[in-house]
Structures are given as C-alpha cells and as structure tokens.
Amino acid sequence: MVKISVIVPVYNVAKYLEECLNSIMNQEFQDYEVICVEGGSTDGSLDILRKFQVKDPRFKILLQEGRGLSDARNEGIAICTGQFICFLDSDDILSNDALIQIYYTMYNGNLDFLCFDTTLIYDRDEVSKEEIIEKETYFKRNREVKSEVLSGKELWLKMVEKGVYQVPIWLMALKRQYVFDNDIKFESGCIAEDNLYTLRCYLFADRAMYIPVTLYRYRLRNDSLKGKKYSCLGLYSFVRLFIGLMYIARENNDPLISEQIYIIAKKMGIEIRKINQKIASEDKWEYDLKHSDAETDALFAALSIGRYGMMDVDIDIHVYGFQNRIYAAKEIILYGCGKIGNLVLSWLKINGLSHKVKCFVVSNKDLDEIDGFRVYAIDEDEFLNKMMTPDSLFILSVNPTLQRELILNCKARGINNVATIDNTILYYIIDSINKSY
C-alpha cells in the first residue's frame, strides 16, 4: 500500500497537463501513486499521460470516456490503494510540500480528513477582474478557524459560522478507509458535485482538522463551471443536489447543522430558479427525451418546478424543511408553553396535527396544563420515564434568541431529535394562523 493516492480527472487539458503532473513528480514526498482518469480527450491529453506513465510507473491511466467528473473521481477512488487520498484537477498545481504536509499531519493526528488553503493562478487576459476578485474573496479564510482536531460536524459549524466553509474537494485530503467505511460517493452525472460530497465528508468524520497552509494552486480560466451551469445538465444537477441537501438536513440529528443546511439549500433553490428561467423550453424538451425517468420526475415534483416553464411555487426552503419534519414525526413534545408555544399549538391544530402532541415541557414549571395538555418540568421523573421516547420530536417553542440554550439543555439529557423555530418559521406560523380565520 502506498501512502497517498492522487486522483486526477483528465479531459482536454493538454495545455496545462504537463505542468500539473510535474507538480506531483516534483514533490518532496515520493511514496504516492497517481490515478489519471482519462475521459475521452481529443487534444492529445492521453498521449501526455502515456509519456508520464513510461517515465514513472506510479502514474496509472484509467480510461473512462464521456462519463463526467463525478464518475471519474468515483472510479479513481475505487481502484486507488493509498492510505490517504487527495484530488488534483488537471489544470491545477500542487505546492511542492503538499504531499508531505498532508501525510504527516493526517498520520500524526489520526485524521479522517484534513482541509487546507489554495492560491489562484490566472492569465489576466483570459478572466475578468470581477471574477478574480470574486474568487479571491471566496478562498480567503483569514485564519478565522483555529487549527485543532475536532469532529467533522464541529469543524463544519465553525467554518460556516465564520463564513469560510469552502466546497471544492481538492481542498481536502481523506483517509481512504474512512471513505469506504461510510460509502461516500460523488453524485453520478452531476456538475457541482462537490456540494454534497464535501458536506458528507464533514458530517461523518470523528477526527478532522483545518491547517492555514496553502498546498494547492487553483487555475482560474474561462472554460469554467459557469457555462455548464446554465444548461439542462446544470438544471438537473442542481435539482439533484438540492434534494440531497434536504435529505441530509432531515436525517441529521443536530438542529444547528440542519438549520445551516436549509440556509444553503435555500440559496441553491434560488439558483435553480435562475437556471430554469435562462434555459429555452425546446432545449429542456430535447434533454428530457434523453433523460426522463421516474427519479428525475420525482425530483422536479419535489421542488415544484414546471419542466418547461418557470418555477411554479415560491417555496421558502427553510420552512419546507420544518414542515417535512413535523409531518414525518410520530409524536411531538412542545418545549416552551408561553406565547410562542401556544402559537405553535394553534398552527398544529389548523393543520390537523394536534393529535401528535403528547405534552408541553418547560425548564421552570409554574402551571400544570394548557388547553388539555399536561405541562412537565424537563427533569420531572414522570416525563423522563413515561412521556419521552426515541420517537418524540421536540419543537423548541420559545423566542429564537433562547433556542441555543434550549438545544444545550436537550443535548445534556440525550435529546437529539429537535426542531428549532427561527424568525422565518415564526412569521410563517403567524401568517398561516391569520389566514385561517
């Protein structure tokens, strides 16, 4: 087994490929293999790969014509043998010390994954000043996150809260066994596939770390994702990714993480509307003839998108996620019995869901009953032993500014199935109640 596998998807990058592969050969650390997944190039890229393979048998070529970046990475992962995995796009470059930094940091820290920084390389004649500023701003972390070993969830929340979470998978190195144990794969046939893959890497990890060190050099050029984004492939890809985010948010048992994922999904929903508006109906029709199946039909229905027109419903994604959790719950416990608690109960009644409510629970009890429902103190023996079950969904029915305190109260008692109410959801509940009268 080699120490590190470098996975390099290749497609029509002859102009940059030698510089990319030389950046691997010139590494200080030499115990590696390079899996070059060739996607059917027509510009001589395969000839360059064969030249490197003759010089150095550590360069392995996997032929995979026309199946895209996601499948290329999946197939590279499937055949690699390294203890750790890193990714290099075939027009980019590794810093000379990248592999030695990755190996010893991950090995010494027993890490599931490591993330690091990049710098940009570009030709000013090829890209606009606005795009350079946009990318430089996105990739600038300003050392906002301390370099320490955390769980993946803890690290993800810190990065999101600081505004420095970055999606590209080439800014991460992964323990190979960790990837296989958790069956983490890229969405086949999608662009922007990093959005789900990177998130899954964070959420499953027990030991993760960020180091504020530039190990990667990202080439900014015109032949970028933007052109593919505003296409039928882009539309279908973003819908699939959106549904994946919603699924992760619903299944995740940490309400703070779910809330942040819903915010990301909402932004993606806005992008889907933009893409949908820019694609001509006849293009969608032609694409649909080739790709229509029950799965994609269900995805579009879930997002309420007319396949050949504008988005039909202006969904607030965050509210949509809250609704899903309520409807899926077998039983509900309302944590908080003040004004907001009563509003939530009223909303449940007008939606025919009050039969799911078992009781109210509070931190400091000063009454015994509300509208026929018992009120318990959260540490009361009868509540802990009889009322609380693994099926109970706790709705935090208090002022949004107090939510974090209640989440900590729940976690301290082993309660993880929690739905939070922020201002967006609160306004939605009030609006729904007003419209019912």
Own/partner long-range contacts of 269-274 (Cβ < 8 Å, ≥24 apart): 269/242, 269/303, 269/315, 269/317, 271/238, 272/235, 272/238, 272/239, 272/242, 272/303, 272/305, 272/311, 273/310, 273/311
Query: In the predicted model, is pLDDT for residue 226 greater than 80?
Result: no
Q: Which of 103, 10, 97 is nearest to 51 (CA)?
A: 10
Domain with 73 in it: 4-223
Query: In the predicted model, is pLDDT for residue 314 greater than 70?
Result: no
Per-residue model confidence (pLDDT) at position 53: 96
Instruction: Render pLDDT for 16-39 as a digit per residue (tens, 0 to 9).
Output: 999 999 999 999 999 999 999 999
Query: In the predicted model, is pLDDT for residue 168 greater than 90?
Result: yes
Query: What is the number of structural domains in the chain?
Result: 3
Of 197-201, 214-218, 335-339, the one with minimum mean pLDDT is 335-339
Per-residue model confidence (pLDDT) at position 305: 47
* Same domain, yes or no: 128 and 211: yes
158 vs 146: CA distance, rounded Å: 9
The mean pLDDT of 120-148, rounded to a whole number, is 84
Whether 228 is in a domain gets the answer: no
β pairing state of 172-175 and 93-94: unpaired
Of 140-154, 228-242, 390-404, the one with minimum mean pLDDT is 228-242
Own/partner long-range contacts of 142-151 (Cβ < 8 Å, ≥24 apart): 143/212, 145/210, 145/212, 147/209, 147/210, 147/211, 147/212, 148/209, 149/109, 149/111, 149/207, 149/208, 149/209, 150/207, 150/208, 150/209, 151/205, 151/206, 151/207, 151/208
* Same domain, yes or no: 178 and 266: no
Adjacent-strand bridge partners of 197: none
Q: Which two tokens stand for residue 184?
A: 């983490």
CATH number of the domain that residue 349 is part of: 3.40.50.20
Query: In the predicted model, is pLDDT for residue 127 greater than 90?
Result: no
What amino acid is encoded at 147 in this protein?
Answer: S
Among the candidates 315, 342, 365, a domain finishes at: 315
312 confidence band (pLDDT: 50, 70, 90) = very low
Whether 153 is in a domain gets the answer: yes
E strands, 169-326, in order: 172-175, 208-220
- Which phi and psi (to 5°) does residue 426 adopt? -60, -45
Instruction: Render pLDDT for 44-93 as a digit per residue (tens, 0 to 9).
Output: 999 999 999 999 999 999 998 777 899 999 999 999 999 999 999 999 99
* Same domain, yes or no: 21 and 147: yes
329 vs 318: CA distance, rounded Å: 17
Q: Which of 195, 190, 225, 184 is nearest to 299 (CA)?
A: 190
* Same domain, yes or no: 23 and 121: yes
Query: In the predicted model, is pLDDT for residue 149 greater than 80?
Result: yes
335 confidence band (pLDDT: 50, 70, 90) = very high
- Which phi and psi (to 5°) does residue 432 adopt? -65, -40
* Same domain, yes or no: 12 and 108: yes
Q: What global pTM score does this model have? A: 0.73
Whether 232 is in a domain gets the answer: no
405 confidence band (pLDDT: 50, 70, 90) = confident
Among the candidates 290, 315, 340, a domain finishes at: 315
296 confidence band (pLDDT: 50, 70, 90) = low
Per-residue model confidence (pLDDT) at position 264: 86
Instruction: Render pLDDT for 260-293 as a digit per residue (tens, 0 to 9).
Output: 888 888 788 778 777 877 776 556 555 554 555 5
Which residues are CB-neighbours of 433 under 8 A, at least 6 positions away?
A: 343, 346, 347, 350
If one counts every other C-beta atom within 10 angstroms of the C-beta of residue 301, the result is 10
Q: Which of 258, 253, 224, 237 is nearest to 422 (CA)?
A: 258
Q: Which residue has the higher pLDDT, 97 or 325?
A: 97
* Same domain, yes or no: 265 and 346: no
173 vs 111: CA distance, rounded Å: 10
Query: In the predicted model, is pLDDT for residue 15 greater than 80?
Result: yes
Among the candidates 261, 284, 315, a domain finishes at: 315
Per-residue model confidence (pLDDT) at position 147: 93
Query: In the predicted model, is pLDDT for residue 10 greater than 70?
Result: yes
Please say whether the beta carbons of 203 and 156 come within 8 A: yes
427 vs 49: CA distance, rounded Å: 58
* Same domain, yes or no: 148 and 265: no
CA 229 to chain centre: 18
CATH number of the domain that residue 20 is part of: 3.90.550.10
Helices 232-251 and 281-291 meet at what angle, rounded to 10?
70
User: What distances in angstroms separate CA 410 from CA 284, 318, 383, 406, 414, one per listed residue?
Assistant: 47, 22, 13, 6, 6
Please say whether the beta carbons of 139 and 165 come within 8 A: no
Whether 321 is in a domain gets the answer: no
